[in-house]
Structure 1
Amino acid sequence: MKKSFFKFLAKLNKVLLPSFSKKQLDLSKATKVQLAIIGWRYYVTTKALD
């Protein structure tokens, strides 16, 4: 159940949150909010793949 929840969250993130890799965002110039979104997406993705 936990893995399926994170898979659902990953799909939701893909639809709702912006993709910074498509925008070619430079991480050294990213704001704290952008870094938080990147961290959240990374966390959810790794949990969905475990």
Structure 2
Amino acid sequence: MYKLLAKLNKLLLPSYTKQQLDLAKATKLQKAIIAWKYFVTTRAVN
């Protein structure tokens, strides 16, 4: 299930790494998206 969510995240959610987003300047929404992607990715790898 997490592998499917990881693929959907990659397709639908923005990549802040490519945009070189500074975490100190990120909004709460951007931080929430980063946390969600991290959560799903770590579960998909295990």
TM-score (norm 2): 0.99
Give the number of aligned pairs. Answer: 46
- For 1:32, give the aligned amino acid: K
> What residue is the counterpart of 2:39 in the other structure?
43
> What residue is the counterpart of 2:11 in the other structure?
15
Q: Larger radius of gyration, structure 1 or 2?
A: 1
Percent identity, aligned pairs only?
65
RMSD: 0.2
TM-score (norm 1): 0.91
Mark the runs of 5 or more structure 2 residues left unpaired by the alignment. Answer: none
Mark the runs of 5 or more structure 1 residues left unpaired by the alignment. Answer: none
